[in-house]
Amino acid sequence: MEVHILAKAFISLAFVGFLGLFLRLYSALVAEPRRLRSKLKKQGISGPPPSFLLGNIGEIKKARTAKVKDVPTGCPPTTHDCAVVLFPFFEKWRKLYGTWECKLYRIKLARPDLVTGLEARSGLSPQRRWRAKFGQVFMFSLGNIQILHVNQPDMVREITTCTSLDLGKPSYQQKERGALLGQGILTSNGTVWAHQRKIIAPELYMDKVKGMMNMITESANTMLESWKSRIEAGGGIADIKIDQDMRSFSGDVISRACFGSNFSKGEEIFKKLRALQEAASKKVLFQWSSRLEASSHETQQGHVGPRKGGPHTHPPGGEAEEPKPQNPEWQERVRTEVLEVCGGRVPDDYMIRKMKQLNMVINESLRLYPPVAVVSREALTDMKFGDIHVPKGVNLWTLVVTLHTDPENWGPDSLTFNPDRFANGITGACKLPHLYMPFGVGPRVCLGQNLAMVELKLLIALVVSNFSFSLSPEYVHAPFLQLVIEPEHGVNLLVKKL
Ligand code: HEM
């Protein structure tokens, strides 16, 4: 009898436990996403219809596979349009699901013949017509995460400069990247983040970075020496895959700055961090979605990977070709400037600031290939941006790659590598300078910006004054998202000593 009662109690407990679990799962995976979407929908925001549990991951995967087949690849690169390679689905969604300001665009898709008259009669100001044309606010879902895509200029300003602790880094990043980043400054929020930022920021002020210049030069020299010996061994020219050298250089600088040790001691740490980064990037929803079926990734590799015996292999005999620089004019302009400013001396802080051409080239490279492709936030409580009430739990995504190449802001040559556009600084380069954000903007702006710029300038200045280089035929242009935008197959350069 007692056993019978115990069994009944156990079954009841198990049932209650199961019911509780079911309700929790139902709320997290179905009810809550539905509630958030409905709140946004009531405000006129639309988006691609999500499928059960996966949201829009299936459509993303399909769009990426299809687009990757269309994108021209090869060496030299035929397009600098990163957005079209990495986020082809956004292009479609932007056109289809802009907010109320985008109704004209929807009509355009259905009745192109009506558009001119409608646009003329709409009475929209040129700025509103721009927004109408590039309807930048729509929603989509990655699994149970609801995301508001916001590239509308005023809202982007409001979001990126928002100082409230109620707007933070998305909680899915903490879960996915926890192994790599812990509760560190990049993913933490609230007072934990504020405390870390207060401690770290002063260590990376320009005055501190100036004091690191000798150390950066030492790290750069280690790389230059290794290139020199590889060139000598190659009989005057070497085909160098520079990726690992770049990682070793920046790892060495951080090692010396943080631990006072050289890179050989920090090497183990950086190898492990790299392995963690690769593992973590596979878990990021975008990567995860593109790897759900290996075929989609294999398609990419089969399409863009180096072809044995094809046009990207060396000629028989294994000799590297004579370098043909991709932007010879710019390499020469930077070299001339470095020689003029430095006169053969190691660049110091004053010289670094005087190198205008070099600054323009770096700005233009970061415009076309911003390592951080998306700036993302989560509303940690109900918030309002522009006219939109953003419910707690909704994520906000600003597509930096798209903003950086919008022809409305940058002109018709927005996809061309043209450092001259930065001749009068960022304000002279585009209509809305706040939309140029390779280092982010506002309270979470990159803390390492000064260090990164000084490292880049010093390294490039030393490289151009010692070597000439061009893209190797081994190089295949394939931007790839691995937490940050990276060249999928690395960067091979043909390098010669000057
Ligand atoms: C070219 C190199 C770099 C680029 C393009 C870059 C870009 C960025 C961007 C866009 C953000 C803001 C992300 C957001 O708003 O969500 C950021 C944040 C950050 N970056 Fe960088 N970064 C670079 C190098 C560095 C370096 C060398 C360091 C450190 C030595 C560094 C440390 C940080 C930190 C600590 C944050 C987090 C700031 C916060 O959340 O309060 N970065 N970076």
Confidence of residue 14 (pLDDT cuts 50, 70, 90): confident
Checking if the pLDDT of 33 tops 80, the result is yes
At 173 the pLDDT is 84
At 290 the pLDDT is 38
Checking if the pLDDT of 363 tops 50, the result is yes
Residue 102 burial class via C-beta count within 10 angstroms: exposed 0-12, middle 13-18, buried 19 and up: buried
- Whose tokens are 């050989």? That residue is 264
Distance 372 CA to ligand 1 centre (A): 8
Distance 448 CA to ligand 1 centre (A): 6
At 135 the pLDDT is 56
Distance 443 CA to ligand 1 centre (A): 12
Complete DSSP assignment for 218-284: HHHHHHHHHHHHHHHHTTSEEEEE-HHHHHHHHHHHHHHHHHS--HHHHHHHHHHHHHHHHHHHHHS
Ligand 1 atom nearest 440 alpha carbon: 10
At 313 the pLDDT is 34
H/E run at residue 141: strand 137-142
Which of the pair, 242 or 65, is modelled with greater confidence? Answer: 242
At 183 the pLDDT is 82
At 160 the pLDDT is 95
Distance 138 CA to ligand 1 centre (A): 27
Average pLDDT over residues 466-481: 93
At 91 the pLDDT is 85
At 100 the pLDDT is 47
Residues contributing to the annotated binding site for heme = 446
- Number of H helices and E strands in the chain, helices first, is 24, 12
Confidence of residue 113 (pLDDT cuts 50, 70, 90): low
Which amino acid appears at position 299 of this protein? T
For ligand 1, atom 12, which residue shows the shortest CA distance?
440
Select from 376, 446, 456 the residue to mutate for testing ligand 1; criterion: most ligand atoms less than 8 Å from CB. Answer: 446
At 120 the pLDDT is 52
Ligand 1 atom nearest 366 alpha carbon: 5
Confidence of residue 168 (pLDDT cuts 50, 70, 90): very high
Q: Where are the domains of the chain?
A: 205-290+315-367+442-498
Instruction: Provide φ and ψ at 168, rounded to 5°.
Output: -140, -175
pLDDT tens for residues 377-399? 999 999 999 889 999 999 999 99
Distance 286 CA to ligand 1 centre (A): 21
For ligand 1, atom 9, which residue shows the shortest CA distance?
439
Contacts of 405 (CB under 8 A, 6+ apart): 80, 81, 82, 83, 367, 368, 414, 415
Average pLDDT over residues 326-345: 93
Assign 3-state DSSP to the chain and report helix, strand, coil percentages, each to 5: 60, 10, 30
Q: Which two tokens stand for residue 384?
A: 């309002």
pLDDT tens for residues 418-429? 999 999 999 999
Query: CA 149, CA 394: separation in Å to the nearest integer?
Result: 11
The SS3 assignment for 124 reads: coil
Mean pLDDT of the chain: 83
pLDDT tens for residues 258-267? 777 555 666 7
Which amino acid appears at position 392 of this protein? K
Tell me which residues have their CB closer than 6 angstroms to ligand 1: 185-186, 197, 371-372, 375, 438-440, 444, 446-448, 451-452
Ligand 1 atom nearest 453 alpha carbon: 1
| DSSP assignment letter at 211 | T
Hey, what CATH class is 205-290+315-367+442-498 in? mainly alpha
Query: CA 450, CA 458: separation in Å to the nearest integer?
Result: 12
Average pLDDT over residues 433-442: 97
At 21 the pLDDT is 86
426 with 363: CB under 8 angstroms?
A: yes
For ligand 1, atom 17, which residue shows the shortest CA distance?
446
Checking if the pLDDT of 134 tops 70, the result is no
Residues contributing to the annotated binding site = 446
Query: CA 176, CA 411: separation in Å to the nearest integer?
Result: 38
For ligand 1, atom 20, which residue shows the shortest CA distance?
446
Distance 434 CA to ligand 1 centre (A): 17
For ligand 1, atom 26, which residue shows the shortest CA distance?
448
Query: CA 101, CA 111: separation in Å to the nearest integer?
Result: 17
495 with 320: CB under 8 angstroms?
A: no
pLDDT tens for residues 198-257? 999 999 999 999 999 999 999 999 999 999 999 999 999 999 999 999 998 998 898 888
Distance 181 CA to ligand 1 centre (A): 13
Q: Strands 492-497, 167-168: parallel, antiparallel or unpaired by DSSP?
A: unpaired
Highest mean pLDDT out of 107-111, 286-290, 360-364:
360-364
At 297 the pLDDT is 31
User: What percentage of the chain exceeds 90 in pLDDT?
Assistant: 58
Q: Strands 137-142, 145-150: parallel, antiparallel or unpaired by DSSP?
A: antiparallel
Ligand 1 atom nearest 169 alpha carbon: 16
